[in-house]
Structure formats: structure tokens, C-alpha cells
Amino acid sequence: MNQKELKLVRYKIYHSYHVPGCGHQTTRKVNAIFFSPANGLAHEMKKAEICYELLKEGKQFITEAVSNADGRRVDIVCLDHGGYKGCREIEVVDTCITKMTQDAIDRGTDILIEKVSQ
């Protein structure tokens, strides 16, 4: 994939998500890690670890973004073709998967579940 095609793929994925609590026209800063105080420290550290791996691979990502399609809040979205370990969305899970995430998996959404090691 050449740079122009990669830029178009990133643009399309990027505009499929928005900032929580805002309209569909607002977007997250690329390659910035946003933490949510609703999550625990282990959850946020795992998210930072995954983002570090994405940066090492030269991939772009956004964090704590809301899907325009179904309103789910996603921990990490990889903007590059192929994503992280073959998936576009990464959900960091402490104990169990939320109902909205499970419904998205059942619909066939490309989500990678990363467990937090206790």
C-alpha cells in the first residue's frame, strides 16, 4: 500500500469515531493516549503498553473514542490497514466484556480483546 492509499484508509477510519460527549464532527488527537478515571491503573497501563507497541510498529491510533456507528466507547482504534494483530479496535478488559462490546463482536465487528494481567 502506497502512502496515498494509507492516508485515505487512516482518514476514513479516523472519521468513524468521535470524542465522548461531543458530536460526530469532533475527533481525537492522533497518537495521544487519553486516560479515563473510570478505569483502574492496571487497565490504563495495559492501554499505554499497547499504544507503545503500535508506535514501535509505526502505526497510528486514537484512544477513548466513541464509534459513530453504534455509540460504543473504544479503548484503542488502530488507524492503519491491518490494525494491531489484525484488528482495528482494541478493548482492554479487566474482568468481563460489556454487553455493547459483546453485541458488536456478535455482529462481526473487528475487535481484539486484551486482558489485564492481575
Please report the DSSP string for 41-56 in residue order: HHHHHHHHHHHHHHHH
The answer to whether residues 32 and 60 touch, using CB atoms and an 8 Å cutoff, is: no
Whether residue 52 has pLDDT greater than 90: yes
The answer to whether residues 87 and 111 touch, using CB atoms and an 8 Å cutoff, is: yes
What SS3 class is residue 61?
A: strand
Say what the pLDDT of residue 40 is. Answer: 86
Provide the percentage of residues in the chain whose pLDDT is more than 70. Answer: 97
Provide the percentage of residues in the chain whose pLDDT is more than 90. Answer: 28
- Hey, what long-range contacts does 103-109 have (CB within 8 A, 24 or more apart)? 103/70, 104/67, 104/70, 104/72
Say what the pLDDT of residue 118 is. Answer: 62
Q: What predicted TM-score, i.e. pTM, was given to this entire model?
A: 0.86
Say what the pLDDT of residue 28 is. Answer: 79
Instruction: Tell me the average pLDDT of the chain.
Output: 86
Q: How far is CA 93 from the centre of its chain?
A: 13
